[in-house]
Amino acid sequence: MKYLCQVWFDGTKFDAMTQEEKHRLDSDSLGYDRDLMASGQMIHAEALQSPSSAVTVRVRNGETSVTDGPFIETKEYLGGFILIEAKDLNDAIRVAAGIPLAKLGSIEVRPIYSFGPDI
């Protein structure tokens, strides 16, 4: 089964880190990605730029509106994702627990919905 591991964290914690700590976190994250690739569980991973670079698009009554940034009510924001292959939810949780940013924020694990072959 495929699972999406969404990486959520508080950007203020990241901003407070020293350059050395950020470098170590990047190195640990890339190392973990390489381990997942070697195990065959990695499908794809990406880090996202900060929410300040985002726009939000809504279509209401046929009208498109675009606003700067996301609508955020919490301190944590989506910082990236890892799409993995796992045998079951417990295996996906084990993989998510190994993501270095889990120590800074949280990892939401969600199964990928599989559309049938007719679609």
* Containing structural domain, residue 67: 2-111
Rounded CA gap, 27 and 31, in Å?
A: 6
Q: Give domain status of residue 118, yes or no.
A: no
Q: Give domain status of residue 44, yes or no.
A: yes
Report how far apart, in Å, the C-alpha atoms of 68 and of each of 10, 49, 52, 57 are.
Answer: 19, 14, 8, 9
The residue among 104, 78, 73, 103 whose CA lies nearest residue 5 is 78
Q: Give domain status of residue 48, yes or no.
A: yes
Q: What pLDDT does 52 receive?
A: 82
Rounded CA gap, 86 and 37, in Å?
A: 12
Give the confidence band of 11 by pLDDT, cuts at 50, 70, 90. Answer: confident
pLDDT in tens, 63-101: 999 988 766 566 788 889 999 999 999 999 999 999 999
Q: Give domain status of residue 24, yes or no.
A: yes
Q: Give domain status of residue 116, yes or no.
A: no
Q: For the CA atoms of 64, 46, 25, 102, what is the dihedral angle to 10 degrees?
A: 70
Number of helices and strands in the chain (H, E): 3, 6
Rounded CA gap, 76 and 8, in Å?
A: 6
Can you give the pTM of this predicted structure?
0.84
Computed over every residue of the chain, the mean pLDDT equals 90
Q: Give domain status of residue 119, yes or no.
A: no
Q: Give domain status of residue 54, yes or no.
A: yes
Query: For residues 110 and 72, which has the higher predicted lDDT (pLDDT)?
Result: 110
Give the chain's domain count: 1
What is the CATH number for 46?
Answer: 3.30.70.1060
